[in-house]
A and B are shown apart, each in its own frame.
Chain A
Amino acid sequence: MPNKTFFWFFLPTGLAMILFIGLPIISTGIQSFYAQHDQVVKEVKKCDPFGCTVSIVVDQEKTSKIREEKPLGKFNGFGTYVDRNHLAIEEIGNFWNETNSFGEFVDQVTNLPFYKALIFTLTYCLFVTPNVLLLGFIIALSLNAVTRRIRGPLIFGTILPMIVTPLVGSLVLFWMIDAEGIIGANLQMLMDDPYLSLKSSKTLTWITIIIYGIWHHSPFAFVVFYAALQTVPQEPVEAAIIDGASRWQRVRHIVLPHIYPVVTFVALISLMDNFRVFEPIIGFSAEGSAQSLSWLIYDNLVNEEVILFGSAAATSMMTIVGIAILLAPVLIRTWKEFRTAR
């Protein structure tokens, strides 16, 4: 396609993307550089059914004046980014000086909320993405091999995990792994340990969420791979069979190279999706043991009675940067291929 045609073709989508994705990101970015104005408080008498006390409230007259002058708040630069609840530059410096061993230093750093969330998010990506690719590919290959008559119902059954709303899917599993649920109770019996609880142990919670993630995302990989498998030309496969190539050799040398671009695509989408892991944490009530970057944003926006826009915006921006870093190798490669192709 000539570049000019492409431009006109892409224009409507591009405009919509700027309007609905670009501008909100810019607005979030601006917000992340601001903090609330200094609160002007005053001492007043408060009375409720349980008695009167002298205590403080926010002085609305003075505060509203400041707010009207500068509605965005106080300019904070990268203040929110480097504070203890985010990158914690100062704290990490202190830990480095105070701790005696490297292990202790790592312990201290991973105790900080942002790094705690980052580690879980990366672990989740690292385990879920390759397994999703592998499982999706295996299912696609096996389904491609079964007789056409039962293929339809089988495909439907396979994509069910993707159809089920993530929150509902995780809730179902949450109840099953309850100490009195079907999986939880049986595990207790199998292990002969009445105190075994999948929900109270951090490691087991992580494993549960990762398994859930693989279960939920595999159908997507499967659908795309299955579609790609339909385009594999039959001649080379038949030629390979005549040459005596085993099934594995055919997959390795003919099928995989053919669908390679699709694998890259699925890997990209999967990585992006997994980096934003959120629903299973809510569904499994796993906030205590597992926090992701998306969960931190949610926490800042709704879990407090005070909404922390600056914190949420800063974490959002860092999530975007994180995804960009993760995708960089693949994107660079695609760009190079594009250049050589031209």
Chain B
Amino acid sequence: MRKTNMKKILISLLFLLFGTSAYADCNIKSGSINILANDFPALRTFVETAKGCKGSADFKVTHSSEHNKIAVPALTANPSEFSARIAANSSIVPLMNQDLIRPLDDLVKKYGKGIQDSQLITIDGKIMAVAFMANTQHLYYREDVLKELGIAVPKTYEEVVAASEKIRASGKMQYPYAAAYKAGWNLAEEFVNMYIGHGGEFFKTGTAQPSINNAKGVATLNMLKKLAGLSNPDYLTHDSEAIKVEWESGNVALMTLWASRSGTLLDDDGDAKITAATKLTGPATVAGGNIPAATLWWDGFTLAKNRSDADAEATFRALAHAAANKKMVADAADQAVWLIEGFKPGPKSIGVIEAVKMKAKPYPMLPQMGLMHGALGSEIVEFLQGKETAEQALKDVEAAYMSKAKEQGFL
């Protein structure tokens, strides 16, 4: 079942499908549209495209990297501040938990011409979101540095460690590896990736009981620590933006970073020599596993429940216009891996396509996963600082998670 679906995505990603051109109908007469979205180039393009279709409707958008903090309170209000929220696998969960978004079945049927079936996020048979791009974290490498030292492009994290050690030993770079290890969400995301790469499960099957304090968890932490030792000593303060800067200053030769950041990394800003030598490859595997130590993400739009039907309709029509827009996909082909019909993957899409090919797992869409993510972000820091053992850190994570899960009624 899973396999055929994977194939379907691959096909839609790799081949250009010729369909009858089907732009969404853009004759919006009334309603008001207000969108909350994260802030990166692809999303800006997407929202701009939707704006082109607003007709006589009111149109407002808030792009913020703090979108996660705003979303739940803003959508809980009645009427909700936003009529739509651009969400991802993880951020749709709190909206689902609190029952803040509406099913889109009717709207898709009425106005969803051109949206492919593979774009629909269905939960319990109801369409809850329409996805338009895919994302993952994968490896970036400096071709010139690796070539000069005779290092093959690493395929596993063990090879990443060996390569980084070799680069350090050569004296070329002191901290050859970088990843977003900033304490909190980013660090937890690195743990999630690495743990999934080890084949770990976060919860005992069918329950909200944590199960990360095991050999795989310990191996995950040890690998993270090894990599941290090869990174800039300030790694606990570095988010995606900070390591991008490190990369562009030429301090780093191997890096794990979001695919959606490749656009800004490969643009004309910065040192042309570094940009030319920056190459992308799939995510690495770890500990002999065959699925990559990375998670697949989709970005899609959801509609607020606490908003009038008229606003929802106007918002859907504008966003559906963008979510089935071949021109946008062609013009902005290097900004993202679009899931929209007509997308021709370019060199900047290699990371995601490789990840899909390698059967990377999607980020777990579980109601209690946010609590686990939060507990990981703060409790594994002391292990990385060398202040406690891996077992103690994992025990702390489980304990912190359990208190929070009890308060939230999951346990």
The yes or no answer to A179 lying at the interface (CB within 8 A) is: yes
Scoring B residues 51 to 76 as 1 if CB is less than 8 Å from chain A, else 0, what string do you get? 00000000000000000110011000
- Other-chain residue from A39, A51, A55, A179 in contact with B408 (beta carbon distance below 8 A): A39
A116's nearest neighbour on chain B, judged by CB, is B382
Write out the residue numbers on chain A whose beta carbons fall within 8 Å of the beta carbon of B182: 285
Q: Is the CB of B385 within 8 A of A178?
A: no
Q: Is the CB of B119 within 8 A of A49?
A: yes
* CB of A306, distance to nearest CB on chain B (Å): 5
- Other-chain residue from A286, A289, A305 in contact with B93 (beta carbon distance below 8 A): A305
Q: Is the CB of B298 within 8 A of A200?
A: no
Q: Is the CB of B234 within 8 A of A51?
A: no
Q: Is the CB of A306 within 8 A of B403?
A: no
Write out the residue numbers on chain A whose beta carbons fall within 8 Å of the beta carbon of B90: 305
- Other-chain residue from A45, A285, A303 in contact with B237 (beta carbon distance below 8 A): A285
B13's nearest neighbour on chain A, judged by CB, is A49
Q: A62 to B341: give the CA distance in the assembly, Å.
A: 39
B237's nearest neighbour on chain A, judged by CB, is A285
A194's nearest neighbour on chain B, judged by CB, is B174
* CB of A31, distance to nearest CB on chain B (Å): 12
A60's nearest neighbour on chain B, judged by CB, is B99
Q: Is the CB of B402 within 8 A of A41?
A: no
Q: A64 to B305: give the CA distance in the assembly, Å.
A: 14
Write out the residue numbers on chain B whose beta carbons fall within 8 Å of the beta carbon of A189: none
Within 8 A of B (CB), among A277-323: 284-289, 291, 299, 302-308, 310-311
The yes or no answer to B15 lying at the interface (CB within 8 A) is: no
Scoring A residues 196 to 217 as 1 if CB is less than 8 Å from chain B, else 0, what string do you get? 0101101000000000000000
Q: Is the CB of B9 within 8 A of A49?
A: yes
A196's nearest neighbour on chain B, judged by CB, is B233
The yes or no answer to B213 lying at the interface (CB within 8 A) is: no
* CB of B373, distance to nearest CB on chain A (Å): 7
Write out the residue numbers on chain A whose beta carbons fall within 8 Å of the beta carbon of B118: 49
- Other-chain residue from B5, B91, B367 in contact with A52 (beta carbon distance below 8 A): B5
* CB of A29, distance to nearest CB on chain B (Å): 16
Q: A76 to B357: give the CA distance in the assembly, Å.
A: 48
Q: Is the CB of A39 within 8 A of B409?
A: yes
> How many residues does chain B have at the interface if contact means C-beta atoms less than 8 Å apart?
72
Q: Is the CB of A57 within 8 A of B96?
A: yes
* CB of A317, distance to nearest CB on chain B (Å): 15
Given A200-B234, A307-B72, also A36-B408 (CB < 8 A): yes
Q: Is the CB of B234 within 8 A of A178?
A: yes
- Other-chain residue from B234, B362, B392 in contact with A197 (beta carbon distance below 8 A): B234
Q: Is the CB of A44 within 8 A of B123?
A: yes
Write out the residue numbers on chain B whose beta carbons fall within 8 Å of the beta carbon of A306: 94, 97, 370-371, 374, 404, 408
- Other-chain residue from B93, B206, B362, B388 in contact with A48 (beta carbon distance below 8 A): B362
The yes or no answer to A35 lying at the interface (CB within 8 A) is: yes
The yes or no answer to B1 lying at the interface (CB within 8 A) is: yes
Scoring A residues 254 to 294 as 1 if CB is less than 8 Å from chain B, else 0, what string do you get? 00000000000000000000000000000011111101000
Within 8 A of B (CB), among A138-164: none
Q: Is the CB of A84 within 8 A of B356?
A: no
Q: Is the CB of A305 within 8 A of B298?
A: no
Q: A105 to B389: give the CA distance in the assembly, Å.
A: 16
* CB of A119, distance to nearest CB on chain B (Å): 14
The yes or no answer to B124 lying at the interface (CB within 8 A) is: yes
Q: Is the CB of A310 within 8 A of B6?
A: no
Q: A43 to B125: give the CA distance in the assembly, Å.
A: 12
Q: Is the CB of A288 within 8 A of B236?
A: yes
A178's nearest neighbour on chain B, judged by CB, is B234
Q: A200 to B182: give the CA distance in the assembly, Å.
A: 11
- Other-chain residue from B9, B124, B356 in contact with A45 (beta carbon distance below 8 A): B124
Q: Is the CB of B6 within 8 A of A37?
A: no
- Other-chain residue from A42, A52, A284, A310 in contact with B407 (beta carbon distance below 8 A): A310
Q: Is the CB of A50 within 8 A of B9?
A: yes
B70's nearest neighbour on chain A, judged by CB, is A302
The yes or no answer to A26 lying at the interface (CB within 8 A) is: no
The yes or no answer to A47 lying at the interface (CB within 8 A) is: yes
Q: Is the CB of A311 within 8 A of B404?
A: yes
Q: Is the CB of B97 within 8 A of A58?
A: yes
Q: Is the CB of A58 within 8 A of B367?
A: yes
Scoring A residues 1 to 45 as 1 if CB is less than 8 Å from chain B, else 0, what string do you get? 000000000000000000000000000000000011111011111
Q: Is the CB of A308 within 8 A of B407?
A: yes
Q: Is the CB of A49 within 8 A of B236?
A: no
Q: Is the CB of B409 within 8 A of A38?
A: yes
* CB of A125, distance to nearest CB on chain B (Å): 22
Q: A113 to B184: give the CA distance in the assembly, Å.
A: 14
Given A58-B367, A63-B99, A304-B374, also A49-B237 (CB < 8 A): no
Q: Is the CB of A36 within 8 A of B93?
A: no
The yes or no answer to B396 lying at the interface (CB within 8 A) is: yes
Q: A51 to B8: give the CA distance in the assembly, Å.
A: 9
Q: Is the CB of B131 within 8 A of A305?
A: no
Given A60-B99, A200-B234, also A84-B409 (CB < 8 A): no
Q: Is the CB of A179 within 8 A of B232?
A: yes
Write out the residue numbers on chain A whose beta carbons fall within 8 Å of the beta carbon of B366: 55-56
Write out the residue numbers on chain B whose beta carbons fall within 8 Å of the beta carbon of A74: 409
The yes or no answer to A165 lying at the interface (CB within 8 A) is: no
Closest 6 interchain pairs by CB? A288-B183, A305-B370, A44-B124, A197-B233, A51-B5, A285-B237
Q: A111-B396, A285-B183 are in contact. List 11 more A-B contacts (CB 8 A).
A: A35-B407, A36-B408, A44-B125, A49-B9, A50-B5, A51-B1, A56-B366, A83-B403, A113-B400, A302-B68, A305-B370
B residues apposed to A, CB below 8 Å: 1-2, 5-6, 9, 68-69, 72-73, 89-91, 93-94, 96-97, 99, 118-125, 131, 134, 174, 182-185, 206, 208, 232-237, 296, 298, 339, 356, 362, 364-367, 370-371, 373-374, 377-378, 381-382, 385, 387-388, 392, 396, 399-400, 402-404, 406-410
What would 6 A/B residue contacts be, using CB atoms closer than 8 Å? Answer: A39-B367, A49-B298, A85-B404, A113-B378, A179-B233, A200-B385
